[in-house]
Amino acid sequence: MKYYISKKVDYSYDAAVKKVTELLKDHGFGVLTQIDVKETLKKKIDIDFKRYIILGACNPHFAHKALLAEDKLGALLPCNVIVVEQKDGIEVCAINPKTMMGQMDNPKLEKIAEEVSKSFDHIFKQL
């Protein structure tokens, strides 16, 4: 199982970031952090890099349930969603919740991972 899910989209980079953010919100996820990788690499080490943003997404209901089941899970939160400008277009990727939570060997997390995966599946189908 891949550690991420992805989809090429027919939006501009800026439109894709906006669309992903809106879809996350529609499915109960807030974007807690935004890291502009291109800007950060230029500023910190003077490297030119492709347009690449990391959106730290969190659904508080899922997060609460998961943290009750495994209090160290916070080391893997929030769920990162990225928008990347590739040579052949825009790609949106997200962590695969089943892979992420499957590392814990905690059966309570399997159900939560399935719920989060369903939300991400709906989001990626709407992109």
Which CATH number is 4-126's, of 3.30.310.70, 3.90.960.10, 3.30.300.130, 3.40.50.800?
Answer: 3.30.310.70
How large is the C-alpha radius of gyration of the chain? 15
Confidence label for 102 from pLDDT (cuts 50, 70 and 90): confident
User: What average pLDDT is seen over the chain?
Assistant: 95
* pLDDT score, position 105: 84
What percentage of the chain reaches a pLDDT higher than 90? 89
* Dihedral in degrees, nearest 10, Cα atoms 54, 1, 59, 40: -10
* pLDDT score, position 50: 98
The answer to whether 9 and 103 are in contact (CB under 8 A) is no
User: Where are the chain's structural domains?
Assistant: 4-126
What percentage of the chain reaches a pLDDT higher than 70? 99
Given a cut of 90, whether residue 104 has pLDDT beyond it is no
Cis peptide bond N-terminal to 107, omega within 30:
no
- Residue range 5-58, pLDDT digits in tens: 999 999 999 999 999 999 999 999 999 999 999 999 999 999 999 999 999 999
> Cβ of 60: how many Cβ atoms within 10 Å?
10
Alpha carbons 54 and 79: distance in angstroms, whole number: 10
Confidence label for 82 from pLDDT (cuts 50, 70 and 90): very high
